[in-house]
Structure 1
């Protein structure tokens, strides 16, 4: 049983499935579904559509260079059947699958680590910009965390043991709590009611 590959999205095409288009120069193009066939006829570039494997490889979402992929390449050289060779091939296939799965896990972990770091930095920036919306007791904690991070950065920058005066001034400015002015509007009706309801105290 031969499993073909879709010319557009690189998906598998099983026997009895898909569409085959033969061009005038006798070149065959196989498509897994009508969606790929229509996009091919519209002359769209698979590298610019996010649902294709070509886009994922060009964007660094999938492993491109992997030596285990060459093991599963189709070889057209006929070999004489022997039981030992079949047993060795089956054990090798299992081992290759384990190696490939491990490499994919490591690749995925490394790829997602950058996303988590970027998300963390974006969250910190959002909290730093909108500190006036937080309660006062939580505001000081965030400022203290930011000051601690700046201390670490200052220690890394000044490796010679010299104190950085400018960084110290910035920390003092950050630790001061921000005062927010709030305007309260009182309607005229409430002022009139409040004035007439006053009780006389002896």
Structure 2
């Protein structure tokens, strides 16, 4: 199994046994999410920007307007960090101190690079297919002007770690007799039934790939 050697920055220190560094775990968490938070420093001010992302092989990709502050800053090669968190449940303990959450998260650090213009279309197709597999064939591809105004950047996942908490609360022995309900309140996310555009033409049926997403 491909293992990413933790660096001093990426090694999980707090509750270190929750840390994971194998590529399979990192990729599975990233592939289950849609939104990441990108952190960087711009003009001396720390910034954290939520944005859509996707993964291809050992790189994390984002895109944005060529005039956006984030895209322009990251394209200069400044250091950045990316975080993705998936909430799996609320952990309700017998004591206030031991309440927690079950989660899966990834933190990656490194430098983004702007991908060449000749590779942008393929990257945006991969992004579209990541969001809704089968969608690219149904829609108009970006035109020349839209491509000109879009920047795609990627960061290698060679300095990253996953952190996972699962299972029931971990109450102290002396609290086990407290007559309060304890356990896990699972949290799940999924797609509801699609809401059609009011201007959708008659006879345009819901595609099967969207039915598949809503049935997950």
- Which has more strand, going by share of residues? 2
Instruction: Tell me which protein shows more helix as a share of its residues.
Output: 1
TM range (shorter): under 0.3
Larger radius of gyration: 1
TM-score (normalizing by structure 1): 0.20
Higher relative contact order (CA 8 A, sep 6+): 2
Q: TM-score, normalised by structure 2?
A: 0.20
